[in-house]
Structure 1
C-alpha cells in the first residue's frame, strides 16, 4: 500500500510531532503542581532526559507515547503497514534505548516511573494520577 502523501509532505507532517510539552505531559505536570509537588523538566544531565524530575524524591518520570515507545498490548501501538520494516526498526530501537536509560538511572539511585499515553486518556487518567501520588509518597 503506497503512502497518500509525497515524501516531502510526509516529512513535514512528521517534523511537527512534538516530543516536549505534549498534552499528556502537561496534564501530569499540572496535576503534580496542584498537589504540591515541585519538579524540573527535561534534565539533560540525566540519561534519557526525563520529562519530569522530582529531585526531592529522586524520581524521574517518563511520559511515553504508546506508538513511539512500543507499548505492548496497547491498541495505540500498532506498527504501520506502510514502510513496516522502517517502523519496526525505529520503534524497537526506541524500546531498547528506553531500557538502557532506565537501567542507567537505576544505577544512579533514581526511581523511574513510566506513564503511558493510553493511561492518561479521559477514562483512565484519574486512577493513573492518583496512583502516581501514592507511588511518590510510598518511597
Structure 2
C-alpha cells in the first residue's frame, strides 16, 4: 500500500494547477471593488495587471494603478481596511513599510509617465496620492 501511494503520489501532485483568483481584468477589478481589505485589493489588482493587462491600452489600466497605489499606501501605513465592530490597524516593521512605499512609488511613476492619458479627476487623484505618499515617509 505504501509503495502504491509513493508511485501514484507525485503525478497527482504535479497535475494540480495554481488557483486563479479572477478570470479577467474586469473580474479582478470587480472583486477588488467588492472588498475593503487593502491586502486583498492589492493582490487582486496585481494579479489582474500581471495576467491580463498586456492586451489593454494604457488608458484602461490607469484606474487599476490608481486603486492599487492607494491601497498600497494605506496598507503600508497600517490601515487594513477591515470594517467591523473594531477598526483594525497594524504596525509594520520599517523594512516592510519601506518596501511597500517603493512599490507605491513605482506605480506613481507609471501614472506620471502616462499623465497625458489621465482625466482631470484622475490627475487630481494622482496629486492626492503623491501627497499621501509624501506624508507616509
Greater RCO, CA 8 A, separation 6+: 1
What is the TM-score of this pair, normalised by structure 2? 0.31
TM-score, structure 1 normalization: 0.31
> Higher helix fraction: Structure 1 or Structure 2?
2
Larger gyration radius, structure 1 or structure 2:
2
